[in-house]
Structure 1
């Protein structure tokens, strides 16, 4: 049976449902096999029985593969099917689908596992997702999925532990990168973070970003398993039937008999002793003299390239507190010069790059972290860039400076292909299509263009450097290659200019060192012996090699001698100590052989039906507000797994007598189709936040709306979106939080919003720091057709972000202007200005003063106008990140502070010229590690040509937008 390429298909096995595109169907048997086998092992380990079929939804939306799992509102794994991003052995893996699924299933098993009390709550309310529109969902979410509310490092700890042993030792517990990170911390005498600082500080400021959760989580789990045994570690994560909402810290003390904070201190002491022992081993042989040629730390780096003069090295980098960029590094004067900004860097490789030194052309990719990669070329002499191939999905670039042939690896539908383009690079042609599991990476063509070296990662977990003859490759026949080296995850290949040597780095001894191979004799020499690790070698002269040395803050450029090291001792791995003590862990290794399709007991393939797949995700009793009334009712959320259909509703009744004349029956409903089309119905609609606020949003009357959202461009960082809505209002009395009286109760509003955003931020920021936003809104108002009245308004906003003075200090300039065709019979069509906008308890963005119709210092909605011009200048200071202010699992994450001034020109009864100055502070809190609330306070004073006024506010925003 064949279906349209863009339609979803589905198949089911005993415990899983896989939803996929037809182009992914060849993966389904292997996915079912991997999932069922992994679940069988994990069910035995954790004494777990699935509460429902686990959904695996395959996507091919990005160029690098990954997995993500959630247990609410249902057990769901998103699986990006492309080869994973290579680099540094940060993720040692074997067969990638089995590896990803086994890791993600640990999250499902641990978080879905419920006590008797949770199971009872789930049978009534389902597994509830916290939602801003109805914050009581927070309470029900804690009742129905309490395991979900632990720190990210805790979540990843157990998943990394079992990913390793379920895949024959391929996992981060036995990974070289983690060893290098902790060894470097010790060498640099850096302090280890507390477990709270991992989230509040380190994950925001480190170039490792969220990888830091995996590193510390897995290391702490390894320490515990070595000290107390794997079974006790599992007990910490296993949920017993008689448990009653026991948090992970209390459970830790019950299991291990010690306070977790005290044990974290013991973990740090152990790690320092362990690294000290390793470093003593390394110091038994002479260390290589690595000469640092820069005081700068560059974070993550791309492959370096020597220019034609031999004086400059080009490479890209992405470090903390700075946007990624391409730079020229002068070897003689040791000076760095920015060549171009590098948007959308990926985590490890930053960007795929190549450099033709004879033409002076630097090739690089964008959309490296999301979407499909674009291929650009930069003329480094003219400083001119050009888009060569959009959405080409090509990486692992290399180019011959002699033949000017550009080669790369294209990712598509889970497999890879070798592609090339001839100067002047007008088209890409496919040379070889590889099988799924054959992951060709990090190409390096010889200077003459005769040979191609590459890294090959196979499903066995083996990674090797191979050599191919380009003449044979161009024939398009099956690839034949010669294996040059296969130990220590070798990578980052480069050639000597005389084509006699190949260089790379590998963890053969447990430490990444530089290796050299003589092409003629095939002799391999190890050139370095270091404490930390060296990467990305580049032969600069016959006697010297450029490389990057790892530090816990990123990579630093160094020079080393091009001569063999005398001796290279090996380190011990913490994971190996665990395996030596508990060899039975390897009994959990999953089979890598593909089972016959008929043995998997899979139901026949069929077309996915969103309607047939609808399920009740939330159905809970709630209390809400409607102006001064309290409303008792139900909140519900019904959707299918891929959100083809998404319906949420709240229905309630006002049984009390706060307002005897007020409406009693309330309905609020919103339906989305494929997140593109929307239907909404509000009839005396409730607003939970009316329970707490003086300014009420619950509006008497009925509103029926139809909406559509379309992205004209979705190409990070540039997004161009248009939202269109037509709304019919009936029996309306007031708008604008019930502060503006309408002139006619029945009317229609049609509006379209054109929104462009091109914004970027650096590691360590809390908001956008660079780029622009542009919005144009057109609204048409019409009254009852029996007595028609028309009016329209249009306004435009433009904003610009930039940093100045110091890191993360952001200057935001905004200008706006609007015009309204006056119609006294449609008062609701005018512009209304004033106020901060923040209510006492809120669910909208805390920086309300940025909105075009807000003007702090003037009472809200007080200024009515038909046309206006508005300017705003704002300074956002760097976020203040703290770690000590906490009560149990509730803590202050960071503080934002901003000052601003606005100017407004309009014609109103209260004046024509207005200016204000204000300040706002936002305290961002984390609750149960996964929920975020913000406490804000602001003050502003305004002046006009007729009067002066001021105002202040304190507001609590629930949950994160």
Structure 2
């Protein structure tokens, strides 16, 4: 019986080999390894390889032709897990480029692009060469470690090794995205954000409203969190600043600043000073002045002709807003919106009174266009997309019943429009990089694919005529050109596919075009003049006419009565609904794009950027397709480097005394990261322990959802900084399974179990201050289930609303006896209306031990803030079940307990332009809490403990990617008479959370 759990653990180890049922595929060349998860994608692999080769070859001409650098063959990971295309790149621990297969989101034409995979590879390979490229010093460090070291918060010294091996990775996001957007633009012949009308509009709006441009530090601390565009500001500001450097100091100097060469400086700020002879802060401020002058000139040029009058429907901008839909009977308009300090929701605006009403929350939003919305006017129903950040679903909201009446998961349908004539829904279905027109009945059942676009074609901005005869879309071509398409719905129903190409613009966009009330025109927006003005196209003559001359930007026009338009007007803080007259404008001036000035000052160099000097080798489709093989995780596992580590371990001379352990970490993994092994070995010869406790081994193997751990004298870095202690004498062997389903935002459904065996222990696994008396070995088993639905509004620094529920069973097998216990928890929070990003939480927990109440194995122990002075866990440890600030750790025993904590989290203070380029604080936040703990022990009186406290927390960022949290706390305990430390206790806490 004693070894029952140990035997069970060992017998389950073969289960690890089962892994997942899904098969993975790969295609290998000397240049890259491409991995994908859907066999249906294999026909597109030759095209993806060619787009990668083209982007790589163009970059090699710029960065790597005259250096010792030999590019690492990256892993190209193709996914189809989201319905909006995306890309990502990382150099650690191996170079990786991730490409989402779906078409890019073209809302408000934020991201001008050519053929999307070509654009993505050019953009993402910029990140690879900027961070992976080494000089001799970087290469020597990589050889010493055997890898580019990735950070591991369990061994924070890894951050130092990582910086030495990949120094340019530790630069701000604007630095990375600025050069990537610049290169994607000019490698594509001038199609990209460096010449983007949206970027121009954003900065024009700031100058027009007399608002501030963020400082180089303030962009990271305030601009990327407080602003409604959050992280996208890194793209906006970074691209702008690179344009300024190129315009003012020349293309060659800009390349010199970014390039990693033998004589370049390690830190990006010092490299800037070396190249430009001035500090980055000064030149950034120079750019802000130049930007102001540039935009004032543009505004003056626009205003040489009368500005189109608009009537705002709301006092303030609404943040991110979807195009409105309108019901002429009720005269109400509807849209999805997401403003800072609030959660995304459907909003209703009465155009007669201007009254705005919140209808219901929307989960899983997009950044610029929170959701796609359609209106069933006869049924008084709103249909909108959900889970937009992943695989989209659909919901029906009944306006009269004021509730959601139907939900459909994983429909993968966007750009929806409702045909009120035929009572059906049209949309674009996304799967495997392709799009199809799909039709559904009024109940969103029986989806029918009625037309499939060729692979690689991007289609968006759909509408349907009022008589239900025509569907319209905008299609984007390989060179960024836009075409307005019309489909006859009657022909589609008969499988007759003859799309009408209404008009094509090669040098500008055609966005959000919708039918006029008489169905004779399509009315939309375009940056044709560099400003997003409204336009109309006559369906019969195909003549384009300009309808506005706006100084900032207008979008998503909708004719609501003959001659009157409802549109969205861009403001610094988001989009604002306005009314305006539908009138033809004859005269307007174009603006000068900032990127155009950079080009004109460097024509000769920049015209050569996108030209291949040597043609790419011929590639046969069959040679690629026939060499696609299965991806075997075990065969692909390789040595992934090793580096020195330092840890802490218990010293036998004093219970709370720690001794340092010097050791080494060895890593093995597969390139995708499905399986990884970490082996840490250490030695503490100077400790006072027995010789057998001076040797330390920790082994950790993660394989899909499985984790196998084995340790002898388990060591922990953070034990060096107490007061909590995780290191344990003796051995442990543990097998665990942890599964989490997060496919639907914001829900998380997780469960798992573990079994473990311990030997030669000096303390219980969960309670460091509770010694094991007379039992040197034990086995444990646990099982848990958790459910959560939590959200954070724009500008928040923690979860602000929702719930977290959990139940866990835990048991010891020790001394031939079994000690089971159970614990349940429930946390409930809400965003308070008193101030932005202010939340209140009620956190509850209850538990019971079924084992012998006289044994330490049948008891739960509480006490302390439970933060280490230096830590890697969540900074708010007082929220955990076992915490009770104001007394020592494990000082309060209970056989049965119930606990509740009320917590008020105040609005965080955002810091702007405070700190240095390599280190700066981002926010300061205050939390107030009060806890009540009720404990029962058989043959003893019921006892009540109370704790009140405060915690101040600030986030510190080192080297731009190493986020650290400093917390200061105070807790006061009110205990019953006879408590070991007296009726009152005080505890001060200081904790620095690393990485």
Whether TM-score is above 0.5 comes out as yes
1:6 aligns with 2:25: no
Q: Give the Cα–Cα distance (whole angstroms) in 2 for the partners of residues 625 and 5 of structure 1.
A: 40
Structure 1: runs of 5+ lacking an equivalent: none
In 2, are the aligned partners of 1:38 and 1:590 still within 8 Å (CA)?
no
CA RMSD between the two structures: 2.0
Shift of the 105–829 alpha-carbon distance from structure 1 to 2, 3 Å rule, reads farther
2:888 equivalent in structure 1: 859
Question: Of the candidates 199, 208, 213, which is equivalent to residue 220 of structure 2?
Answer: 199
1:922 equivalent in structure 2: 953
1:504 aligns with 2:527: no
1:745 equivalent in structure 2: 776
1:606 equivalent in structure 2: 629
Comparing 944-953 and 352-361, the one that deviates more: 944-953
Question: Of the candidates 43, 56, 65, which is equivalent to residue 39 of structure 1?
Answer: 56
1:799 aligns with 2:823: no
2:17 equivalent in structure 1: none
Question: Of the candidates 866, 886, 890, which is equivalent to residue 837 of structure 1?
Answer: 866
Structure 2: runs of 5+ lacking an equivalent: 1-19, 651-657
1:633 aligns with 2:645: no
Question: Of the candidates 169, 175, 178, which is equivalent to residue 154 of structure 1?
Answer: 175
1:166 equivalent in structure 2: 187
Q: Give the Cα–Cα distance (whole angstroms) in 1 for the partners of residues 520 and 21 of structure 2.
A: 48
Shift of the 234–599 alpha-carbon distance from structure 1 to 2, 3 Å rule, reads farther
Q: Map residues 454-465 of structure 1 onto 2, 5 A cutoff.
A: 454-465=473-484
Q: Give the Cα–Cα distance (whole angstroms) in 2 for the partners of residues 673 and 770 of structure 1.
A: 33
Q: Give the Cα–Cα distance (whole angstroms) in 2 for the partners of residues 169 and 23 of structure 1.
A: 33
1:570 equivalent in structure 2: 590
1:400 aligns with 2:423: no
**CA shift for structure 1 position 242:** 4.1
Question: Of the candidates 374, 379, 382, which is equivalent to residue 354 of structure 1?
Answer: 374
Deviations 1:499-555 (A, max 9, x none): 233211111111111112333443332111000000011112113111110012100
Deviations 1:835-871 (A, max 9, x none): 1101211111110110111111122111111111111
**CA shift for structure 1 position 306:** 1.3
In 2, are the aligned partners of 1:16 and 1:56 still within 8 Å (CA)?
yes
| DSSP 3-state at the match of 1:691 | helix
**CA shift for structure 1 position 826:** 4.8
In 2, are the aligned partners of 1:911 and 1:944 still within 8 Å (CA)?
no
Question: Of the candidates 804, 813, 821, which is equivalent to residue 773 of structure 1?
Answer: 804
Q: Give the Cα–Cα distance (whole angstroms) in 2 for the partners of residues 110 and 611 of structure 1.
A: 31
Question: Of the candidates 855, 864, 872, which is equivalent to residue 901 of structure 2?
Answer: 872
Q: Give the Cα–Cα distance (whole angstroms) in 1 for the partners of residues 406 and 162 of structure 2.
A: 47
Q: Give the Cα–Cα distance (whole angstroms) in 2 for the partners of residues 870 and 283 of structure 1.
A: 65
2:164 equivalent in structure 1: 143
| DSSP 3-state at the match of 1:42 | helix
**CA shift for structure 1 position 642:** 1.6
Deviations 1:427-473 (A, max 9, x none): 21111111112222121011111111111112221112222211112
In 1, are the aligned partners of 2:373 and 2:383 still within 8 Å (CA)?
yes
In 1, are the aligned partners of 2:513 and 2:523 still within 8 Å (CA)?
yes
Shift of the 360–824 alpha-carbon distance from structure 1 to 2, 3 Å rule, reads closer
Comparing 751-760 and 287-296, the one that deviates more: 287-296
2:970 equivalent in structure 1: 939
1:682 equivalent in structure 2: 711
Q: Give the Cα–Cα distance (whole angstroms) in 1 for the partners of residues 360 and 853 of structure 2.
A: 54
Q: Give the Cα–Cα distance (whole angstroms) in 1 for the partners of residues 616 and 256 of structure 2.
A: 32
**CA shift for structure 1 position 249:** 1.3
Q: Give the Cα–Cα distance (whole angstroms) in 1 for the partners of residues 740 and 531 of structure 2.
A: 47
Higher relative contact order, structure no. (Cα contacts within 8 Å, ≥ 6 residues apart): 2
Question: Of the candidates 640, 644, 649, which is equivalent to residue 621 of structure 1?
Answer: 644
Q: Map residues 405-424 of structure 1 onto 2, 5 A cutoff.
A: 405-424=424-443
Question: Of the candidates 548, 551, 559, which is equivalent to residue 539 of structure 1?
Answer: 559
Q: Give the Cα–Cα distance (whole angstroms) in 2 for the partners of residues 242 and 228 of structure 1.
A: 20
1:810 equivalent in structure 2: 839
1:597 equivalent in structure 2: 619
**CA shift for structure 1 position 829:** 3.9
1:672 aligns with 2:702: yes
Question: Of the candidates 234, 248, 251, which is equivalent to residue 227 of structure 1?
Answer: 248
In 1, are the aligned partners of 2:323 and 2:568 still within 8 Å (CA)?
no
| DSSP 3-state at the match of 2:727 | coil
In 2, are the aligned partners of 1:33 and 1:595 still within 8 Å (CA)?
no
Shift of the 26–595 alpha-carbon distance from structure 1 to 2, 3 Å rule, reads farther
Length, aligned pairs only: 951
Normalising to structure 1: TM-score of the pair? 0.96
Comparing 35-44 and 802-811, the one that deviates more: 35-44
**CA shift for structure 1 position 633:** 1.4
Comparing 256-265 and 706-715, the one that deviates more: 706-715
Q: Map residues 883-902 of structure 1 onto 2, 5 A cutoff.
A: 883-902=912-931
Shift of the 885–186 alpha-carbon distance from structure 1 to 2, 3 Å rule, reads closer
In 2, are the aligned partners of 1:741 and 1:828 still within 8 Å (CA)?
no
| DSSP 3-state at the match of 1:143 | helix
Q: Give the Cα–Cα distance (whole angstroms) in 2 for the partners of residues 5 and 666 of structure 1.
A: 36
Shift of the 885–511 alpha-carbon distance from structure 1 to 2, 3 Å rule, reads closer
Q: Give the Cα–Cα distance (whole angstroms) in 1 for the partners of residues 472 and 592 of structure 2.
A: 31
In 2, are the aligned partners of 1:466 and 1:485 still within 8 Å (CA)?
no
**CA shift for structure 1 position 710:** 2.3
1:65 aligns with 2:85: yes
**CA shift for structure 1 position 374:** 0.7
1:957 aligns with 2:992: yes
**CA shift for structure 1 position 612:** 2.5
**CA shift for structure 1 position 900:** 0.4
In 2, are the aligned partners of 1:863 and 1:910 still within 8 Å (CA)?
no
Question: Of the candidates 92, 96, 101, which is equivalent to residue 121 of structure 2?
Answer: 101
**CA shift for structure 1 position 399:** 0.9
2:3 equivalent in structure 1: none
In 1, are the aligned partners of 2:887 and 2:987 still within 8 Å (CA)?
no
2:320 equivalent in structure 1: 300
**CA shift for structure 1 position 388:** 4.5
Q: Give the Cα–Cα distance (whole angstroms) in 1 for the partners of residues 739 and 555 of structure 2.
A: 44
Shift of the 673–63 alpha-carbon distance from structure 1 to 2, 3 Å rule, reads same
Q: Give the Cα–Cα distance (whole angstroms) in 1 for the partners of residues 598 and 869 of structure 2.
A: 53
Deviations 1:299-357 (A, max 9, x none): 11112111142521111111111101101101111110011111111112211111111
Q: Give the Cα–Cα distance (whole angstroms) in 1 for the partners of residues 836 and 728 of structure 2.
A: 45
In 1, are the aligned partners of 2:853 and 2:859 still within 8 Å (CA)?
no
Q: Give the Cα–Cα distance (whole angstroms) in 1 for the partners of residues 862 and 501 of structure 2.
A: 72
Q: Give the Cα–Cα distance (whole angstroms) in 1 for the partners of residues 789 and 641 of structure 2.
A: 36
Q: Give the Cα–Cα distance (whole angstroms) in 2 for the partners of residues 956 and 388 of structure 1.
A: 45
In 1, are the aligned partners of 2:723 and 2:866 still within 8 Å (CA)?
no
Deviations 1:643-690 (A, max 9, x none): 22111121112221444567111111111111x111111210111122
Q: Give the Cα–Cα distance (whole angstroms) in 1 for the partners of residues 374 and 309 of structure 2.
A: 29
In 2, are the aligned partners of 1:882 and 1:894 still within 8 Å (CA)?
yes
Deviations 1:340-388 (A, max 9, x none): 111111112211111111211111111111x211111111111131334
Deviations 1:730-778 (A, max 9, x none): 1212124631112422211111111111011111000111111101111
Shift of the 930–395 alpha-carbon distance from structure 1 to 2, 3 Å rule, reads same
| DSSP 3-state at the match of 2:693 | coil
Shift of the 479–873 alpha-carbon distance from structure 1 to 2, 3 Å rule, reads farther
| DSSP 3-state at the match of 1:701 | strand
